[in-house]
A and B are shown apart, each in its own frame.
Chain A
Amino acid sequence: MSRAEQIVKLIKTLSTNTPDVEAAAVIDNDGLMIASALSQDMDDDSVAAMSAALLGLGERITGELERGEFELVMVRGDQGYLILTRCGDEAVMAVLTGKKAKLGLIFLDVTRTGKEVARLLA
């Protein structure tokens, strides 16, 4: 199994095993999709670039406002959440959830999956 396939498997497992996680993707710092488990009606290229951009800004403002070590960016819409977090120094994980998501549980699973993805990318 290739590295990309292993990462797809990890993020699909995250979607399957964690309630309310609807989709996930792993993107490199330059905004290129590494592995996607997003629905087919989403534009992977645009989502990848926007996710990396948003995470980059999140990291910058965390430093600028002296909020300590960056952990994640969360965006809430009335249909659910987008969570962006680091998986290693070179990649970003984007996770989409439903609006009733139990965020504490999701953060735990996202962090664990992020570490596994980082290990694969190292």
Chain B
Amino acid sequence: MTPAYQTYERMKAFVGFDDADAGRLRRLAPVFAKHGATITDGFYATLEQYPETAKLIEGRVDALKATHHRWMQELFSGSYEQEYFDNRMRIGVAHVRIGLDPMFVEGVMSYLRTAGLLAIREEFADAEEVSVLAGSYVKVLDLDLLVINLAYGDERLDRLTRFTGMSRKLLERCIVHG
């Protein structure tokens, strides 16, 4: 078990993400099957508005939309263990490698929170039900954000290790003493 996965499991426990959340997210799968394409289109339209993100997606929006669709399907798969974590970590590393500034990841997650919550409200009439489903949705997005942030931290330390010749433990020690 890698330290990153241990952190993910610890944070799942910390935010109280449990089997009930997994079950609720499975229930949300049809909602996002219905609204997913609209959310994805809106998401890429937003990315196209900003030069920093537009240049990263130019010429491959359709392929990225398909990837985003798979990401969303996994989000509601109901399984959030090692395989889920590994896939999320790979997505995080891909974001780092294309040079996406982490602030845009935060922005994207904010967009997905808002759009997803609107979709949930549209599909469920009972306010109590909306509230618990929304809670699980927000938790899983927060966990995804955590994994992406872990990937950013990991990749940046790896780059510093390669550039400076310093070991990871040494870099972490320098951060502690800094």
A30/B165 in contact, CB under 8 A: no
> Interface residues of B, CB < 8 Å — how many?
10
A44 CB to nearest B CB, Å: 11
Chain A residue at smallest Cβ distance from B167: A30
The verdict on A60 contacting B170 (CB below 8 Å), with A45-B177, A46-B177, A49-B177 known, is no
What number of residue pairs across chains A and B have CB atoms under 8 A from each other?
38
The verdict on A56 contacting B169 (CB below 8 Å), with A46-B177, A49-B174, A49-B177 known, is no
Neighbouring B residues of A50 by C-beta, 8 Å: 174, 177
CA distance A56 to B167 in the complex (A): 8
B173/A31 in contact, CB under 8 A: yes
A60/B167 in contact, CB under 8 A: no
Interface residues of B (CB under 8 A from A): 163-167, 169-170, 173-174, 177
25 residue pairs bridging A and B, Cβ less than 8 Å apart: A29-B167, A29-B170, A30-B167, A30-B169, A30-B170, A31-B169, A31-B170, A31-B173, A45-B173, A49-B170, A49-B173, A49-B174, A50-B174, A52-B166, A52-B170, A53-B166, A53-B170, A56-B164, A56-B165, A56-B167, A57-B164, A57-B165, A59-B165, A60-B163, A60-B165
